[in-house]
Amino acid sequence: MKVCVIIPYVNEKMFIGDCLDSLEEQTCRDFEAIVVFDHSREESRQVLFGKTVSFPLRTLELGEDRGVAAARNLGMDSAEGEYILFLDSDDYLERTAIQDMLQLMQEGTDIVHAGLRKTWYGRKVYDDNGEELEAQNSIEEKKRREITDLTVLGYMFRRDYLRQNELYFDDSLCYYPDLYFITAALNRGARVVETEKILYLKRQHNDPVRRPSLTQIPDVKGKNQEVMQAYQQIKKEFSETEWKELDDMFIRFFIEMIVPWFVTAMDIEIPQLYKETLQCLEILPEEAVKRAEPRVRHYVEYAQKHNLYPLIRKIRRQKKCKTCIRILTSRAALKEYLYGHVFCRMKLKESTILFESFLGRSYSDNPKYIFEYLGKHMPGRYKCVWVLDHKKALPYPAKQIRRYSFRYFYYMARAKYIVFNGRQPKQFIKRQDNIFLQTWHGTPLKKLVFDMDEVTSADPLYKWDAYHQSLDWDYLIAANAFSEETFRRCFMFERDLLRTGYPRNDILYLEQEERQAVADTVRSRVGVPEGKKVILYAPTWRDDEYYGPGRHKFTAPLDMGILKRELGSEYVILLRVHYFVADRMDLSGMQDFVFDVSEYEDIAELYLASDLLITDYSSVFFDYANLGRPILFFTYDLERYRDKLRGFYLDMKQDMPGPLLYTTEEVVDAVRNLQQIRQDYQERYRSFCETYCDWEDGNASQRIVESVFDGGQESRK
Ligand code: C2G
């Protein structure tokens, strides 16, 4: 075997599949892989052993938890090939990696260095459109290399060269054992060949809560210490070498990592790093300091000449000044400051409720129906405040405020009750006696938070934020047993889960005449011509098609021209895009057939006004099924959405209460044959409702009010 690939493995069972598959698909087969178990759990080993690979794969045992450095050393001791390549078990290689690197390993070459790219995605997403997604997410494509980027990953080493130079990883280090190793390897007279071709994919972990990578572990002090240790070791051992790039990197590290640590650290902790820092600054050459920009130079010189304490005091003072200036010059900063330092210190208003639905974009959904229940059954008991982008006529008294206004922060701090149907702003501070009722906004078909493998949307660290936001929720509502179980798991939610059904579906259980009255009002408001049947088309959004966070594109290839020609005599379409979608369809020539109801406040009223629903992967069908009316699924991008973007909890092909359709023509056919579809899907529709609509009876709002608000009992009277 020419090449030995050394893979340290702890418990990264989520990722090891991609890692081994990328080896399995190598164009060059002349390699073996050694997986070094570093205290791996039984189930993690099973994942590995469950894979069949056609290349030689050996496993070694580290015995106890000793870290990546020790694992690689053990791998090197047991390696037999001519060359060594280190591959982390959460990373993967391009298909031609080994072949390309071997080609560059000419006579006399000791090290080949290929391009490395950081990615948030596994192979499945990366191979198809990973690069495009990375660009949108603007993953840290830094122009400059940082000292912590110095790694052995992306290199192939001649094994003899490592042996002759007695190169091993320092196994006392946790985070950056590569730093010294690679610098030393490159500076012992190695003949190095480089290629810019990206051959190594380094996976960033999208779940720092449950699966943090080493770099995501928040031990800033420990990391700083290791970098300083390595820097001193290199400078001492290779004192003859000019370390221009390394010195510059160290200065940046000092300013960006060490100084901020000192500034926020507790005073008693400081001496521990203080000596080491001064030692590093002492060996920093004068020219390197001169090369730095003036502010940085000033900091370094100050620290070198005096000691660190005056510098820390000075920076703390500067920081305070900066905060003052920011508050005086930026309204956003002032709001946040007042929120944290003034409003949150005022008493809670015991009878105030703050309502927000779909980021303040509409008066709708669960919060609306809870509000109306309170208004009707306990008039005057609570002071209600609604977050709304535009002033609306509301049926009960409520103050209306805009999202992110001064008053928004004021009420977020002072309202005892908070009723939102989505995640709260990141600035939100949970106060001790606050009661946060998270209603959520749908039964999940698409995987959520911790159930998602890949995060392809605008915010790659969505799991981290969503988790911390969910810790503030006192209550979470589930519309059915499936949601209950799913929410518990996907949010890791441990507090009160209200098994009540959805308040937003109460309206669907009104008496027939009342429902008809709502439908008539909607039809006349929208302008639906007399005698026409109504198709409600309500698709969801695509995580990866966006202009920016919360501003997504609309790209569904449903040909409205064909629909008009084929169905226009009998039907009209109410087109309702998801609230994240910023695009509006060009409806010229369609005015009497397609009605854009995207701005209509409450989709539940649109359900009542419609005769059938067309959707895709939106949760709307779980609610619509309560009406027993036909549902069609226009799933033109099913495979992509399911396998690359999001993943589903249900098997769409087996479980949906209506047919999956892929073209406009199929949609036309289905609408013409609704009677047949009803018959064909009767049984599935019935069992679907049994599973997902079973808790709904029109009284969810009452059950919630009774469980969450004081005086809930009054509402029964
Ligand atoms: N919605 C709407 N119009 C659409 C799509 C959705 O008014 N065209 C509303 C519905 O009330 C729907 C809710 O927004 O139930 C959530 O929309 P989804 O399409 O399901 O997507 P998402 O916002 O990603 O929520 O657990 C539910 C999931 O979180 C999905």
- Span 402-456, pLDDT tens digits: 999 999 999 999 999 999 999 999 999 999 999 999 999 999 999 999 999 888 8
382 contacts 351 by C-beta, under 8 angstroms: yes
Rg of the chain in Å (alpha carbons): 30
The closest-lying atom of ligand 1 relative to the alpha carbon of residue 358 is 14
* Residue matched to tokens 């490592």: 162
128 Cα–ligand 1 center, Å: 27
Output the pLDDT for position 63: 78
Atom of ligand 1 nearest to the CA of 619: 20
Residue 470, ligand 1, Cβ within 6 A: no
For the chain (717 residues), the mean pLDDT of every run of 10, in chain order, is 95 93 97 95 88 94 88 96 97 98 95 95 85 67 81 98 96 95 95 97 93 90 95 94 93 93 86 87 92 89 80 88 94 96 97 97 98 97 97 97 98 98 96 96 96 85 94 98 98 97 98 98 96 97 81 87 96 96 85 94 98 98 98 96 90 97 98 97 98 98 95 59
> Which segments of 540-673 does DSSP mark as H helices, in order?
560-567, 603-609, 620-624, 638-639, 652-655, 664-672
In this structure, the residue with its CA closest to atom 3 of ligand 1 is 578
DSSP classification of residue 97: H
Nearest Cα residue to atom 7 of ligand 1: 603
Question: Ligand 1 atom closest to Cα of 504?
Answer: 11
- Retrieve residue 550's tokens: 């919360």
Cα 603 to middle of ligand 1, angstroms: 10
* 154 CB near ligand 1 (under 6 Å): no
Check: CB of residue 123 under 8 Å from CB of residue 18: yes
For residue 584, what pLDDT is reported?
85
Collapsing DSSP to helix, strand or coil, 467 comes out as helix
pLDDT digits (tens, 9 = 90+) for 341-400: 999 999 999 999 999 999 999 999 999 999 999 999 999 999 999 999 999 999 999 999
Distance between CA atoms of 434 and 421, rounded to whole angstroms?
16
- Looking at residue 65, its pLDDT comes to 77
The sheet with strand 533-537 has its strands ordered as 594-596, 571-575, 533-537, 612-615, 631-634, 660-661
| Residue 17: predicted pLDDT | 95
In eight-state DSSP terms, residue 715 is: G
Q: Which of 576, 622, 605 is nearest to 510 (CA)?
A: 605
pLDDT confidence of residue 560: 94
The reported pLDDT for the residue numbered 229 is: 95
